[in-house]
Structures are given as C-alpha cells and as structure tokens.
Structure 1
Amino acid sequence: MKNLPVLDISIILLYLLAMVLVGVYFARKNKSAEQFTKASGKIPGWAIGLSIYATFLSSNTFLGVPGKAFGGNWNAFVFSISMPLAAWVAAKYFVPFYRNTGEVSAYTNLEKRFGPWARTYAVVCFLLTQLARMGSIFFGISLTLQALTGYSMETIMVVTGICIVIYTVMGGIEAVIWTEVVQGVLKTLGALLIIYLIVSGMPGGVSKIIEIGKTDNKFSLGDFSLDFTQATFWVVLLYGFFINLNNFGMDQNYVQRYHTASSAKEASKSVWLCVWIYVPASLLFFIIGSCLYAYYQVNPQMIEPVKLQAAAERLGAAASSVDIANLAATLKPADYGDKVMPYFMVTMIPTGLIGLIVSAILSAAMSTISSGMNASATVFSEDIYKRYFKSGLNDKQNMRLLHVATVVFGLAGMACGIAMIGVKSILDIWWQLSGIFAGGMLGLFLLGIISKKSGNLEAFAATIVGILVIVWMSLSYLIPDEYAYLKNPLHANMIIVVGTLCIFLTGTLIASIRNKRATIS
C-alpha cells in the first residue's frame, strides 16, 4: 500500500470534477426525454464510434486483460479477433433494422414480433447483464484504488459511483458520449505510458521481453485443437463472435447510439470505427501483461509482496505468517494476475504519472458504467414502466422517471460490485455472467429477424428449452461427482453459443414442422 502524493490526488480529483462539470454543461440541453436518450440524433459518427470503443474498453480490459496475459497467454485476445465479423453483420443488418424501426429501445420489436413476454424476457436479461457488468467494473476500479490509497473498496465504489451518477443524470446520453470520446483517448494514452515505463525499466528492453515471452509461451493464442471443454482458440472465437453479436445487435448501450447518429450510414461507420480502434488497443493490454511477466521474471524478489497478499486473502485473517508464506510459494501467476497491475503502479510509477494513469483507469470504468446506467434507465422507462404501469407521460414526468431510474441502477451496480469482492479474475467472472444472461435474448432476437415463419408459440417453446439448457450448463457443476455424467462437459464460454443456437434452431424446427403439417392438412 502507498499513500498517494498530493499532486496525484489533485489530478484525480480534478478529473472527477471535470466529469461532473460535463454533466452540468449538458444539463442545460436536457429538457426532454428525446434529448436525454437520443441527443436528438445530432451526434457525428466518429464521436459515436469513439464512444462505443470507450464502452468496450472498460476497466475490465484495463485491469483484467493484463492479469490474464500475466497469468497465462494471449488466448483471450481471440475475443477481439472475432469483432470484425460481428461488426459486418451489425453494419449490414442490425443498424438499418433499428434505424428503420425508430424505437429507442432495442426490445420493443420483440413484442411486435412475439408478444409482451418476449420483450419482458429480453429486458430482464439485459438488465441482469448490465448489473453484472457494472458490478465487475466497480470491483476492478476499487481493487486498484485500494492498493494506491488504502481506503476500503466499499468506500471507493461509493465515491466514484456518486460522481458517475451525477454527470449521467444531469447530462444524459450526450454527456455520456462526449465524455467517452475524451475517456477513450485518455485510457489509450494511459496504456501506452504504462508500456513505456515497463520497457524503460526492463534490463535488456524489448528483446528480453520477447525472449522470455517466447520461452514461456506467453504469446500463444491458445490450443487450436477442436476441444470445446477447454478455452481453446475456437472456444474463445465462438464466444467472442456471439457476445459481440449480442453487443451490436441486442445491447441497449450500442443500439441507443445508432439513434444518436444523423443517418444510418454514420451509425454504420461508428461500428467499424469502434472495431478498428478496439482491436489494436486491446492488444496493448495483452502486451502490458506480457511485459509485466517478463519484468518480474527478471526481478522475482519484487513480486513476493503480491504473492503474500494473495495467499493471505485466501487463508483469511486468522492465518499465521508461516502458513501464508508456504501457500505463497506454491502460487502460480494465474493465482495473482489481477493484482500485478495495481502493484506495479504502486511501486514503480513516479509521482504525477500515477494520477494520470489512475485517471485513465477511472475513465475506463466511468465510461462503461455511465453507459450502463443511461441504457438501463432508458430500457426500464420504455419497456417496463410505460409498458406496464403508466404510459403517456409528459416531458417533466419522463425526465423525472429517467433520473430516478439512473440513480437506482447506479446504486444497484455498486451493490453488485461489493458482492464481487474476493473473486479470482475480473475478466473471467464478467465473461461467465455475460454469457449466461445474454445467450437467451440473442437467440430470441435472431429467431425473430431470420425465421419469418416462427410465431409466438414457437418462440415461447424455444425460449423455455433454451433457458433450461442455459441453467443446466451454468449450474451442473453442483451435481455430485457420482452423477458426473450429468454435468456440462463444455467450457463455460460455450454457454452463450449453445444457448443462442438452441433457441434459434428449436424455434426454427418447430415452425418448420407446424408449417409442413398445415400444408398437408
């Protein structure tokens, strides 16, 4: 632990104040729900693209990815490699579809296609996904700031959360987008600065890092065998394609941005701009992880405090120093990977630069959380409150509803972050939860736009089957070992793949059978 110098604290506080002032500035424009949720469709495509990029590049990337690369290899980078194909589908089909409907909610069309239950089901899946995402990001940022300041993770989540809530509530989607443009640039510069600091302090420089990385297989993209029980190249590629398809096609965070563009062409450009920036930017964080690994291989004595901290957390407060030391000696890099980046910042980054890098990490967290708050509030307003409780609200009532919902979802995200304290890997927990919650709604969405013959009955039956499959795949690890044959044999990342295909194929098959019977009769 290290007490931050006054200069670094001042830089961080100035950054937080600047974000709040952005919300105050845009608050003058937010006189209607249309402005709050769509920015009146006047945002340029390049700004939307940077905004989507900033949402993708969360603190899960900033902290979780270097931790994964440090503890393993570049297998998780395959997720980024899958993005261009998902973006092509989104730009060609999803963007025109949503622009033509004109609906600010991504889920209104499901009710028109299959009925109220489909819309509600997708909304619940989305809100659960957002809470999981906001929680994992709150956890990630508090993990770093705790190492730097010594304050409790709960306190850090509350302080940062209040700042995010203020500028999101006051500024609406326009404040979210323009702050994300700045945050996207800031977090990228932060990553480049960290790489420079590691390489400059590394004996032997880049060549030594490459030598150690090659020796220990740190640059591998994973096993290329067709084994779906492990996180092979193909498992991560499939997971990445389906989750990115869900992001571009069903996630309100992204769909809402399509409506803020001046045209469908500008909206499509924003998708591609996000991809071409995100793929190389995400690679930077894998490079950081590999650089940190090489750095601490050359300086093994410097990583001992991290191993001791990880061992102490596992054993609990009652553990003796001998037990902690014995466990620390057996830990592998994967067991303490998430702690390495904050530790490097605490011990190796000079005064002044720490404040800048923490601000970059804060920006990574704030951009994604603010997007999640705004999108969740919009979905709750359009798909739940107005649908089931009270429609026909005037602008004043609409704005009050959106403001209250934004605050509530912000507080709920903090609560989820507190509940995640103690998890082993930020990236792993986020990937698992998103795969579980997103699989169902993506399958239902694809069934609705591709299988024209599928109706309400087919969609409902397929969704029930899909939910049962997802629940089984998610919870079968709880089955006793004597019934091991009943457990899910596939890797957890396959849940979204199997769940999506199960709903889509089941619905298509039932519709085909019914149509054949109708033709015969």
Structure 2
Amino acid sequence: MKSLPLLDLLIVFAYLVAMVLVGIYFSRKNTTADQFTKASGKIPGWAIGISLYATFLSSNTFLGVPGKAYGSNWNSFVFSLSMPLAAWAATKYFIPFYRNSGEVSAYTHLEHRFGAWARTYAVICFLLTQLARMGSIFFGIALSLQALTGYPMAVIMIVVGISIVVYTVMGGIEAVIWTEVVQGVINTIGALAILYLVVDSMTGGIEKIIEVGQANDKFSLGTFSPDFVQSSFWVVLLYGFFMNLNNFGMDQNYVQRYHTTGSIKEAASSIWLCVYIYIPVSLLFFILGSCLFAYYESNPELLTTIKMAAASELLPGGSPDAIAQLASTLTPADYGDKVMPNFMVTKVPAGLLGLIVAAIMSAAMSTISSGMNASATVFSVDIYQRYFKSELSPKQSMRVLYIATTTFGLLGMLTGIAMIGVKSVLDIWWLLSGIFASGMLGLFLLGIISRKTKNAEALTATIIGLIVIVWLTFSPNLTDEYAYLRNPLHQNMIMVVGTLTIFLVGMLLTRLKKHKRELAEVAKEEL
C-alpha cells in the first residue's frame, strides 16, 4: 500500500489546521444564536450561491459520481438537469414564504398548519436525512484516504470528524459559508487537475477516450422509454426534481442560508448561481468517470489491485484464494468508487496529490459542517425550545447549539463507520435520502398548496404515505412465496411515489370532506 509522501501529508495537515483557525476567527462573533444560525443576515448573495454549490459538491460527487459513470453511464447526470425547474419553484414560492415568515426553522409553519405532530415528524425526517447524508460523505472521504494512506477507514473518519466538529462548533454558520466558498473553488480546481492528468496519461488522448466511451455506451443518459422499473431517463428526472425541490424548498441547510442574505432578491440569486455553477461542474465529474473507464480499459492490468481491494471489503476475513476468485467476477459497477483513489495513488505527482486530497476533504467537510449546523438549529428551535424550555438566555441558547452541533457531528461519523462495505456511496445516499425526504416533502407541499387541508386529513395522508414508503422500501426483500407483493418500481421512485401519495391523498380527503359538507348543507336546506 502506497502512503502519502511527507509533502502531501504536510499539505493535508495544514488544511485541517487552517479550517480550525477559521472556526477560531469567527468564534469571536458568535455571542448570540441569531449570529450562530443566520450570521445576522449580512452574507452577500454571491457567497451564499457558492456555498450552496459547495454543499451540493460533496465527496459523494467527487468520488461517487466518477465511480457511477465508470460503472455505468451518464444516467445520473439527469439529476443535475432537473435542478432549474426546482430552483424556479423555490425562488418563486418558497424563498418569499420563508423570508416573510421570519422563522429560521423550515418546519415551524407546519405546526401552525397541522399541529405539533407535523412539525415533529418533519424534523425527525430531516435529522435522519442529515445523518444519512453526513454518513455517506464520511464514508466517501474515508474510502479515498484509505487508498492513499493505508489507515483504517474508521480512524480516518474519527480524525476528520473531530476537525470538522471543532471549526463548525466554534465558527457557526458564517464560518461554514465562507469556508464553503473557498472549498468550492478548491474542489473545482482539484477535479480539473485530475481530469487533465487522466487525459494526459491516456494513449491516444481525447479521441481514444471518446472511442472507448462510445463503444461501451458510456455517454448514455438512460433509456427514454416510459420505463419506471429500471433507472431510465424519466426515473432520474422525476427523482431529481422532487429531491432538488426538497433541497431548495425545505431542507434546513438551504432555508437557513436564505436568512443570511439581506433581501429576497439576493437569496433567489444565490440559488440560480448555485445551479449555473453546479450543472457544468457535475458534468465535469461524469466526463472524468468516462475518462477513467477508458484509461483502465486500455490498461486492464492496472485493475488487479482495485478488484482485490473491492473483493476484500465484500468478503472480509476471506482466504486469499476466495478473495481472488471473487475479484475475477466483479464488474465495473462493483469497484467504480475505488478507481479514482487508485489513479490518484499511482499517477498524481507529490505536492499536487496533497492539494487534491485537500480538495476531496474540503468537499466532504463543507457538506458535513453545513449538515451539523442545520441539524443543531433544527434541534434547538424545533425540539428543545418546543418541548423542553421555550425561553432561553443568549448563553443558554449558545450552549444548546454547541452541544447539538457536536452531537450530530459525532452521530454522522458513526453512521459513516456503519456504512463501511457498501458497494456504491451514491446509491446508498440516494436510497436513504429518498426514504426520509419523501414523507417530509409531501406533507410540506400539502400545507403550502392546499390551504383548506386541516389536521385530520394531513395526518391520515401522512400515515398512508408512510405505509406506502415502507412497502416500496422493504417489499423487494420478500421471499419468493410473496413475490407478487414486491415493489416493481426502481428504488429512486420511492421519493416520487411517497411524496405524491401524501400530497394527493391529502388533497382527495380534503375534497371529500368539502363534498360531504356541501351535501350536509343541501340536506339541511331541504329539511
């Protein structure tokens, strides 16, 4: 196992120290909860836009997207193509709503609409989504650093996790945003550097990459037929629209940033800046995955180490012969996430390697720190102040935020450790986020769009929606005896069907209640 040269280790160490110093610098301003959670509304819109872009550009993108493109094609890029429509809905409806309400939490209004249960349910879904997100990102960063250093993934997560906790707890949302601005730039430069090195190492250059990619259908966006069983163009487009609508419309990571700007216009412009940057940069990562595929397809002897590493994780404790036999059966989809770390180990020169590792770390740290801050805010406002102590002094508020931020950072780290051994970091994130976010988004849309829907209809719709989500998620594991009860749809449709179930059932129940009331009034008049 090759380890990082001393120069690269010093660069990575310097980056971690710099992040902690950023937290110390901004800690001087964090004397109130308003400053810690909203930066007193003084962050410029362009900085918010880049920070939103950096939040999207996590290690799931940096490692998961090239790995996905390597193992399949550009089908997942359709997720990015869905962003403009979701951004339009968010800027037209959601941002004005949040700014006019003045509530720092995205979920307070659900209690006003449907009662305390709705707010609590949405908060639980959000916190579970954040743990899934942070866990998958911890896993992604550990996956790459393990290949580079040889240290156990759990040890890597602990070291990186402690650094993130320190600068996030000390610096608050302002430290998170400004470090994300820097991290967004570093991430993009790192991706461009790796892409250049792959193309430069490829015999035949760009022409050969295109030739290999076309021969293996690597540039496909998926089938355009109305197929919802496999990951077709339409499945990813629908999933992407609903997931991005959840991100821009009710994810506390984003909603909290809308309050850090000076106006509605600045908040809206930050979303569009995020979209304009992220779409081409996400395409860059898919191109990188296709280039890596062409490189290793042209040099198949280099895949032995990658396949053996993947087989060792799939068969822990197995004999060398058993691992070698398993490795010979693996497909590109089975080891795609390990390809880019391997390329970095073998092809990236010293010095530059440290900068790229710092870029991957910054991609992970930006999203995790954002999730920690948002989770702590939601816990403080929607749980602690709602159920335990509504009136807090500035000192008490800060203590709750500090403790909650630390706790969620550690829980995210433990979630990442629990994910060790999964095949695709992008797949596991999409599955978990779809499960938790669909119920939350469906209830939110019902509350915003249908003003006549009351508590009883919303609660009934949510219960029915949860039953559907549980069935969609777990029915594929049923035995052959109950095969007819299995969910036939692709797993990404959980987000779509779950959201629509809650929303449409709620609308239907509202309409039936109105019709029943009208019939009762007619009968009363006839009497």
TM-score for the superposition, normalised by structure 2: 0.98
What is the match of residue 34 of structure 2?
34
Give the structure 2 partner of residue 313 of structure 1.
Answer: 313
Q: CA deviation at 1:313?
A: 2.5
Q: 1:161 is paired with a residue of what secondary structure?
A: helix
User: Residue deviations 1:206-245, cap 9 Å, x none?
Assistant: 1110111011110000011111010000000000000000
Of 144-153 and 392-401, the range deviating more from structure 2: 144-153
1:428 aligns with 2:395: no
Question: Quick one: distance in 2 between partners of 1:255 and 1:280?
Answer: 24
Q: Give the equivalent residue in structure 2 for 1:397.
A: 396
The equivalent residue for 2:110 is 110
Corresponding residue for 2:329?
330
In structure 1, list runs of 5 or more residues that go unmatched: none
Match of 2:524 in 1: none
Query: Are the aligned partners of 2:105 and 2:382 in contact in 1 as well (CA < 8 Å)?
Result: yes
Tell me, yes or no, if structure 1 residue 507 matches structure 2 residue 506: yes
User: Residue 341 of structure 1: SS of its match in structure 2?
Assistant: helix
Secondary structure of 1:3's counterpart equals: coil
Q: Which moved more, 1:239-248 or 1:472-481?
A: 472-481
Give 1:74-85 correspondences, 5 Å limit. Answer: 74-85=74-85
Question: 1:298, CA displacement in angstroms?
Answer: 1.0
- Give CA-to-partner distance per residue, 1:172-229, whole Å, 9 cap, x none: 0000000000000000000000000001111111111011101111000001111101
Q: Partner letter of residue 11 of structure 2?
A: I
Preserved contact between residue 70 and residue 290 of structure 1 (Cα < 8 Å): yes
Q: In 2, distance between residues paired with 1:128 and 1:400?
A: 23
Letter in 2 for 1:464: I
| Aligned equivalent of 1:345 | 344
Displacement of 1:165 after TM fit?
0.6
Q: Structure 1: how far apart are the matches of 2:334 and 2:514? A: 54
1:118-517 paired onto structure 2 within 5 Å: 118-321=118-321, 323-517=322-516
1:9-42 C-alpha deviation (Å, 9 max, x unpaired): 0100111111111101100111100000000000
Deviation at 1:324, TM superposition (A): 2.7
Distance (whole Å) between structure 2 residues aligned to residue 106 and residue 76 of structure 1 = 28
Q: Secondary structure at the match of 1:492?
A: coil
Deviations 1:327-369 (A, max 9, x none): 2222211111011011111111110111000000000000000
Secondary structure at the counterpart of residue 504 of structure 2: helix
Query: Distance in 1 between the 2:241 and 2:3 partners?
Result: 42
**Deviation of residue 276 (structure 1)?**
0.5
Contact 2:435 2:469 in 1 (8 A): yes
Structure 2 counterparts to residues 10-89 of structure 1, below 5 A = 10-89=10-89
Give the stretch that moved more between structures: 300-309 or 46-55: 300-309
1:315 deviation in Å? 2.8
User: What is the CA deviation profile of residues 316-335 of structure 1, one whole-angstrom value per residue up to 9, with x for unaligned ones?
Assistant: 323233x3333222221111
- Equivalent residues of 1:306, 1:343 under 8 A apart: yes
In 2, the alpha carbon distance for the partners of 1:67 and 1:406 equals 31
Alignment size in residue pairs: 520
The DSSP-based 3-state class of the residue aligned with 2:492 is: helix
Structure 1 position 52, deviation (Å):
0.5
What letter corresponds to residue 324 of structure 1 in structure 2? I
Question: How far apart are the structure 1 equivalents of 2:318 and 2:459?
Answer: 52
Equivalent residue number for residue 525 of structure 2 = none
Contact 1:81 1:279 in 2 (8 A): yes
CA contact (8 A) 2:475 2:486 kept: yes
Residue 310 of structure 1, CA deviation: 1.6
Q: Report how far residue 487 of structure 1 moved.
A: 0.7
Check conservation: 2:312, 2:318, Cα contact below 8 A.
no
Distance 1:314 1:38 in 2: 44
CA RMSD of aligned residues (A): 0.7
Distance (Å, rounded) in 1 between the aligned partners of 2:281 and 2:394: 40
How far off is 1:299 after superposition? 0.8
Query: Which deviations, in whole Å up to 9, do the C-alpha atoms of 1:103-144 show, x marking residues without a partner?
Result: 000000000011000000000000000000000000110111
Q: Secondary structure at the match of 2:124?
A: helix
How far does the alpha carbon of each residue in 1:80-119 deviate from its partner, in whole angstroms, 9 at most, with x for none? 0000000000010110010010000000000001100000
Q: Kindly indicate whether the alpha-carbon contact (under 8 Å) linking 1:246 and 1:442 is maintained by their aligned counterparts in 2.
A: yes
The answer for the alignment partner of 1:519 in structure 2 is 518
Conserved 8 A contact 1:312-1:319: no
* Cα drift, residue 371 of structure 1: 0.3
| Alignment-mate amino acid for residue 355 of structure 2 | L
Q: CA deviation at 1:250?
A: 1.2
- Residue 312 of structure 1: how far off its partner (Å): 2.7
Q: Distance in 2 between matches of 1:445 and 1:360?
A: 35
Percent sequence identity over aligned pairs:
71
Which SS does the other structure have where 1:175 is aligned?
helix
Contact 1:462 1:507 in 2 (8 A): yes
Distance 2:451 2:511 in 1: 11
Deviating 4+ runs (over 6 angstroms):
none
Partners of 1:314 and 1:448 in 2: how far apart?
A: 44
Deviations 1:485-517 (A, max 9, x none): 101110000001000000000000001111111
- Amino acid in structure 2 at the alignment position of 1:61: T
Would you say the 8 A contact 2:253–2:370 is kept in 1? yes
Is the contact made by 2:73 and 2:217 (CA closer than 8 Å) also made in structure 1?
A: yes
Q: Partner amino acid for 1:363?
A: S
CA distance, structure 1, for counterparts of residue 51 and residue 74 of structure 2: 26
- Which string of whole-angstrom CA distances, capped at 9 and with x for unpartnered residues, describes residues 157-182 of structure 1? 11111110111001100000000000
**Aligned-partner residue type, residue 498 of structure 1:** V
Counterpart residue type for residue 383 of structure 2: I
Distance of 1:373 and 1:340 partners within structure 2: 29
Counterpart Cα distance in 2 of 1:309 and 1:453: 57
The one-letter code of the counterpart of 1:223 is: T
CA distance in structure 2 between the aligned counterparts of 1:290 and 1:216, rounded to whole angstroms:
10
Q: C-alpha separation between the residues in 2 aligned to 1:309 and 1:397?
A: 49
Distance 1:312 1:419 in 2: 17
> What are the ranges of 5 or more consecutive residues in structure 2 without an aligned counterpart?
521-527
* Inter-partner Cα distance in structure 2 for 1:140 and 1:232: 25
CA deviation profile, 1:420-469 (whole Å, cap 9, x unmatched): 00000000000000000000010000000101110001100000000000
In 1, distance between residues paired with 2:313 and 2:169? 37
